[in-house]
Amino acid sequence: MSVGINWSDFNLNSVKGPIKQVIYINIESGCSNEFVRLPLMIAKGSNDGPTLTVLGGVHGDEYEGPFAVRELFEKLDTESLNGTFIGLPQSNPPATKYGTRKSPIDNLNLARVFPGNKDGTITEKIAHFISKQLIDKSSFLIDLHSSGTHISTPTLVGYDGSEKGVNNGSKESALSFGVDVIWGHNSLSGGRSISYADSINIPWLYTECSGGGWLHIKEAHLYAKGVFNVMMKLKMIRGEIRKVKPKFQLFGDGDMDESITASVSGYLVPKVNMLSRVTKGHLLGEILGPANELLAKVKSPTNGVVVLIRRSAAVIKDESITFLVTGESP
């Protein structure tokens, strides 16, 4: 069963369980009386328990998170569910429609505008709705990203690496998720869903995987399994977590938009593999000109592990090349 409702009329507290329902939230797009329809997949169990919000598709060119949210929702049984699962398979419908990172309506990046603005543009309104109606009422937030069309990362889970994250279960949940790479952060750039959750003391995780603009089904299943593990940890569902010891426990900043900048325009040839351990000054890539002349070398600014590699060859002067090297947990 699915219903449509105006965003100002939605109230999570009025959803009575047990219920499994898709609710379409209508938000004015700002374009000639049109609405954006934000699909919420709500499963509320027979028993009380935590509220978990899982976002997919914050960027419209990422497909594993949306697939995992749908898979999770389909598999949940309200009879045995404790608490409430809220899944958004398309957190940013205009961007999803066109397969773009930013919204084609206002050119904003949803992952940079949280907690949004009720009276702002459509992306800010979506962020406001997710923040105030969902994150504020959640016990835990998971934001399922993947690296999008132009960049690549290993499959990883990011967590709150501060003392707070150790105490509120963020780190423990990352260790339970079941992936080979976990990445702790003790500071976050503003405007992300997780930075808003962090600011109001709601524990969080996010994920990344290889991207490229198509769906990696194996990673999508891994995401769903990882969220189920977190739900077991939160005692929302029963089951035993099969723990996988991560091969890489990374630590450091994780802003994908704040990596190394191109000194010249040209085309990029990466010279490192994903998860290579490099030292400061190590050659990460070369920027070549039309006749293969070497225009610039891209060197690592620090010692660490390569977690982000640009996959689009064309680079433009002063743009981010999106190589990112981060440290490891001691």
Whose Cβ is closer to Zn ion: residue 64's or residue 71's?
A: 64
Q: For Zn ion, which stretch binds (CB under 5 A), given 59-67, 87-95, 195-203, 306-314?
A: 59-67
Whose Cβ is closer to Zn ion: residue 108's or residue 287's?
A: 108
Tokens of 128: 């406001």
Q: What's the rounded Cα separation, in Å, for the pair 203 and 66? A: 21
Residues 165, 171: contact at Cβ < 8 Å? yes
CB of residue 44 vs Zn ion: minimum separation in angstroms? 28
CA dihedral 244, 245, 248, 252 (to 10 degrees): 90
Could you tell me whether strands 248-251 and 181-185 are parallel, antiparallel, or unpaired per DSSP bridges?
Answer: parallel
Q: Which residues, numbered 6-35, are part of the site for Zn ion (CB under 5 A)?
A: none
Q: For Zn ion, which stretch binds (CB under 5 A), given 42-50, 142-150, 196-204, 240-248?
A: 142-150
Establish if 125 lies at the interface with Zn ion (CB under 5 A). no
Whose Cβ is closer to Zn ion: residue 44's or residue 59's?
A: 59
Q: Which of 248, 245, 250 is nearest to 329 (CA)?
A: 250
Compute the chain's Rg from CA coordinates.
20
The secondary structure of residue 64, as a DSSP letter, is H
Whose Cβ is closer to Zn ion: residue 27's or residue 58's?
A: 58
Tokens of 261: 């900048």
For 36, 132, 247, 257, the CA distances from 175, given in Å and listed in that order, are: 36, 29, 11, 26
Q: For Zn ion, which stretch binds (CB under 5 A), given 53-61, 225-233, 277-285, 287-295?
A: 53-61
Q: For Zn ion, which stretch binds (CB under 5 A), given 2-10, 26-34, 145-153, 159-167?
A: 145-153
Q: Which residue is nearest to Zn ion (CB)?
A: 145
Of the candidates 20, 59, 128, 282, which one interacts with Zn ion according to CB under 5 A? 59
Establish if 145 lies at the interface with Zn ion (CB under 5 A). yes
Count residues near Zn ion (CB under 5 A): 2
Residues in contact with Zn ion by the rule CB under 5 A: 59, 145
